[in-house]
Amino acid sequence: MNQKFNSEDEDELRDEYDFTRLPVVARGRGRKQPNSLTIELESDVAEIFPDSASVNEALRFLIRITKSSTPQTQ
């Protein structure tokens, strides 16, 4: 697939274009989802909670227990 360079197809970008100011868009696997929150766990906690689903389940359980044991004042 060796093609000869054609001067007519030469890149016409100007020198004054500043590509350092363009936003970088991450694509593909492993990229952060928009509107998601990232929290770093200590290593001892991460051993017990291997993924975000288990952390969320434990926190929701803690919230339910806290709400049921706390008297509601109105």
Which pLDDT tens digit goes with each residue over 12-58? Answer: 777 777 778 877 777 776 676 667 788 889 999 999 998 889 999 99
- Count of domains observed in the chain: 1
In a domain, 2, yes or no: no
Considering the domain boundaries, does residue 24 fall inside one?
A: no
According to the model, what pLDDT value does residue 12 have?
74
- The strand ranges marked E within the chain are none
Identify which of 47, 73, 45, 72 has the alpha carbon closest to the alpha carbon of residue 59.
Answer: 45
Domain extent for 42: 33-74
Is residue 18 a part of any domain in this protein?
no
- Residue pair 68/60 in contact by the 8 Å Cβ criterion: no
Shortest CA distance to 39 belongs to which of 48, 52, 49, 29?
A: 52
**Full-model pTM:** 0.47
What local confidence, expressed as pLDDT, does residue 61 receive? Answer: 96
